[in-house]
A and B are shown apart, each in its own frame.
Chain A
Amino acid sequence: MTRNKELKGQVKRHGFSTRFVHWTVAVSTFLLIFSGFGQLPLYKRYFVDQLAGLGWTSNFSVTLMIHYVAAIALIFAVAYHLTYHIMRKEYDIFPKRGDVKESIQIIKAMLGRGEEPENDKYLAEQRLAYAFIGGALLLIILTGAIKVVKNLSAIEFSSDFLWVTTTLHNVATFLVLFGIIGHLAAFIFKENRGLLSSMFNGKVDADYAKERHSKWYKRVDVNKNVDVDM
């Protein structure tokens, strides 16, 4: 069991399932956004299809197929994620009361003003970012599913309902885009970069975990069990 904690000065933070879900969501979301913008349409006007190897980008049937296949991957990953963590009763990443206030405190601390609070497995802003991106993805999946059903010949929806659905789908796209920009911008702060390795090999530096995620580190230390797979 101790194998799960101390590994050459590193502590295990994410198991295979978490990393699999993260990267499946990342790749499928990138493909969805890219192919979705192709549906606007955009790439012919902006000469993207003139670039070497990107001639297909202005072909709606190709970008729509990519959109469908990537959506299948995203839905699979989201279903996997929810089922896996509900079964394992892992809810560390859900927002808690006071997270907004605590996030401001953490950002201030990173800018050299004040002390950082003691953090659990996730920082307050990570929990908020999860809820924001997760909520936007659920909205996108729900509205996207309605759009897929609409494309089938036998089913008709009212035009008002479809307009609301389409608009929500488009708005949610931008919410996800803002969420991703925020997510990546977090790594502008050097303090956050210690976590990067965990999304690749599942581990973080033990010293980093002890200092930045002290509440979580203590829990892992005390329990010394495999319950670190979030």
Chain B
Amino acid sequence: MGGFSRRDFLKRTAASGVAGGIALSGVKIAEASTGESVGTMIDLTKCDGCKGKDVPDCVSACKTENMDKFPEPVENIGNYWPQKKYEDWSEKRGLTNRITPYNWTFVQTVKVQHGGKEHEVAVPRRCMHCDNPPCVNICPFSAQDKKKEGPVVIDPDLCFGGAKCRGVCPWGIPARQAGVGLYLKIAPKFAGGGVMYKCDLCYDRIKVGKRPACVEACPKGAISYGSKSEMLATAEQKAKEIDGFIYGDKENGGTSTFYVSPVPFEKVHKELMAQKSQQKNPQAPGFPGMQVGVGNFLDTPNGIAAGMLVAPIAGMFAAGAAAVKTMKGEKNND
């Protein structure tokens, strides 16, 4: 065996197993919840979309707060070869009626019939900051992170702009801008598409104890901010008071944004989808629905994750049986 004996092999195998075990359990313990995370409660009985104003105050405040983070793409953006297109919102920075890389929140307004009367409901939309965000989990470069404080944050220096996060988000929230980011330094013609942008719940502000800009700006006090459990309790209390409905507590496996509405969200969703279908390009991203009870992209794969635990044990047993059989001198199957 030269320089590699069986003993060496067994020692190394055991060492790698122990290292893996420490890596798994140790990190889990180290990173397990350190303090309560934050959330928001959006009271749709209060929000009126800042009627009479060109742009709702929460939208304006968000734009001002995040101005320095908005992308400044290169002048000549190349196509996503071999496709003959690229995603560019830099000429539409003023858009406030959908989510874009330059507009991280907006207000949708719907009219729905409920309880025998018509309700006009204004719904501020942005990232819901999910409990188990598929956008974070499926990012091929780990460019997104669920912060211990609760917000889901994209690292613009690591993001490659594949937009997979948008594909697995039930609301398609992350918005892509081409001509900016890491991909330009690697092989811009062949791989990557820019950087994804979205609400980070004003992470820089909440880290230092401030409230998100949209919360502070709302003239009606429609957006509450606090500990997640407190926000959920407030939402439940409010829903009880008005015999209303909650959105965001169960969707995508749970989020940290809780909407309370006097009308069922099924009706809101239906109306939103009708509006979307009438847009110039109904396929364009940035105009989310509110599908009730929408599942998490990872529910199915997580369901078979246990198979990975069983696989090595099954393999060892099967091999053990085969080895014993052959060592006894029994005939092989060939």
Contacts and interface: CB of A to CB of B under 8 A. Distances in A.
Contacts of B279: none
Contacts of B326: 15, 17, 88, 226, 229
B313 A94 contact: no
A71 B306 CA distance: 12
B297 A91 contact: no
B327 interface: yes
Nearest to B329: A226
Nearest to B160: A40
B150 to A, nearest CB: 12
Interface in A101-122: none
Interface in B132-191: 132, 137-142, 145-146, 148, 158, 162-164, 167-168, 191
B3 interface: yes
Interface stretch (B19-27, B95-103, B113-121, B220-228): B19-27
A148 B132 contact: no
Contacts of B83: 45
A91 B8 CA distance: 12
B284 interface: no
Contacts of A150: 137
A219 interface: no
Contact of A97 (B2, B162, B253): B2
B315 A97 contact: no
B302 interface: yes
Given A87-B319, A94-B1, A155-B28, A41 B164 contact: yes
B92 to A, nearest CB: 23
Given A40-B162, A79-B312, A83-B323, A91 B9 contact: yes
B76 interface: no
Contact of A146 (B23, B80, B140, B310): B23
A158 B315 contact: no
Contact of A72 (B9, B162, B304, B320): B304
Contact of A84 (B167, B298, B313, B323): B323
B315 A77 contact: yes
Contact of B315 (A16, A71, A78, A87): A78
B82 interface: yes
Contacts of A96: 1-4
Given A79-B312, A156-B146, A166-B142, A91 B30 contact: no
Interface of B: 1-4, 6, 9-10, 13, 16, 20, 23-24, 27-28, 30-33, 80, 82-83, 131-132, 137-142, 145-146, 148, 158, 162-164, 167-168, 191, 253, 296-298, 300-302, 304-305, 307-308, 310-316, 318-320, 322-324, 326-327, 329, 332-334
Interface of A: 1, 15-17, 19, 39-41, 45-47, 60-61, 64-65, 68-69, 71-73, 75-84, 86-89, 91, 94-99, 138, 142, 145-146, 148-153, 155-159, 161-163, 165-167, 170, 201-202, 226, 229
Given A157-B31, A161-B27, 19 more contacts: A40-B162, A60-B138, A68-B301, A68-B307, A71-B308, A72-B311, A80-B315, A86-B6, A87-B323, A88-B326, A89-B6, A94-B9, A149-B305, A151-B137, A151-B301, A153-B253, A163-B142, A226-B329, A226-B332
